[in-house]
Structure 1
Amino acid sequence: MASNPAEDIPAQHVAMLATVQRMRLGLLVGNLIEARAARDVLQGLHAAHIALEETALIPKLPASARWSAKVYLAEHAKLSAMLGEWHDILARQPDRLDPPEQRLMLLDASAPLQHLLEHHFEREEKGLLIETRR
């Protein structure tokens, strides 16, 4: 476990956003092998992130917190479900996807995952990380 979770979480956010970008770039160029590999890395990063937060930070969240623990836990569950859906979506695709319309469709479909990650990380940085330091 990390020695200082509040310092490790922002670094995890950066790594996860870079990995979702790697997945999206794979989709953009039609390299589904790369997109799958990035999705798998993202899954591992997400699992480690959840484990750290749910054991070291969320239990310390005060009752007066801006967002309750249920909000963070629900977002973790939603992100986990979305990553599972992306595993299935990418598994159904060929290794190389040439038609630009298909690549664009997948790229567009991946935007909600990126947006939820960004929104969740912002909530953590403005709420969880501050409120568990008090």
Structure 2
Amino acid sequence: MTANTIAHLCKQHDAMLQTMQRMRLAMLAGDITSARAARDALHALQAEHIAAEESDLISRLGTSARWSAKVYLAEHAKLAAMTEEWRARLERLPAHTVEPERRLALLDASLPLQHLLEHHFEREEKGLFVEIAG
């Protein structure tokens, strides 16, 4: 079961990064409605992903793990908070944004969330998944 769970979680990583890219591309185009839809999809994927990891994997980490369970849990909380911040931010905007400066500002502001996703997924794939599978 663990190998299947880990394979599924890795596929979810890819899906979340693709969804983040869809959100960013929509913001670049000024299509806030599509950015909201991508954000909602990201939120749903994240919630399912975090629940699976916290119930099936993180609780099984040993004391000699490269990163403690607290690290993964803290990153999950940070990701959830950042996604919520994006929910609020995009809800304040009109359905379409024409101004290139505003579109660029949105794109720039989304980089911390993208970077945290990438960093967190790398930590899981090189730490959590390896330790649980091994």
TM interval, shorter chain, is over 0.9
2:113 is aligned with what amino acid? Answer: L
Equivalence for 1:73: 73
Equivalence for 1:109: 109
1:46 is aligned with what amino acid? Answer: Q
Equivalence for 2:19: 19
Equivalence for 1:58: 58
Q: CA deviation at 1:4?
A: 2.2
Q: Tell me the secondary structure at the aligned position of residue 95 of structure 1.
A: coil
**In the TM superposition, what are the counterparts of 1:1-134 in structure 2 within 5 Å?**
4-134=4-134
Q: What are the ranges of 5 or more consecutive residues in structure 2 without an aligned counterpart?
A: none
Q: Distance in 1 between matches of 2:133 and 2:85?
A: 35
Deviations 1:95-114 (A, max 9, x none): 00000000000000000000
1:42 is aligned with what amino acid? Answer: L
Q: Distance in 1 between matches of 2:18 and 2:39?
A: 11
Shift >4 Å, 4+ stretches: none
Q: Distance in 2 between matches of 1:39 and 1:88?
A: 11
Q: Tell me the secondary structure at the aligned position of residue 66 of structure 2.
A: coil
Cα root mean square deviation, aligned: 1.4
Percent identity between matched residues is 61
Aligned residues: 134
Decide whether the 8 Å contact of 2:3 with 2:133 is kept in 1.
no
1:110 is aligned with what amino acid? Answer: S
Q: Distance in 2 between matches of 1:105 and 1:55?
A: 37
1:18 is aligned with what amino acid? Answer: Q
Q: CA deviation at 1:49?
A: 0.3
Decide whether the 8 Å contact of 2:2 with 2:133 is kept in 1.
no
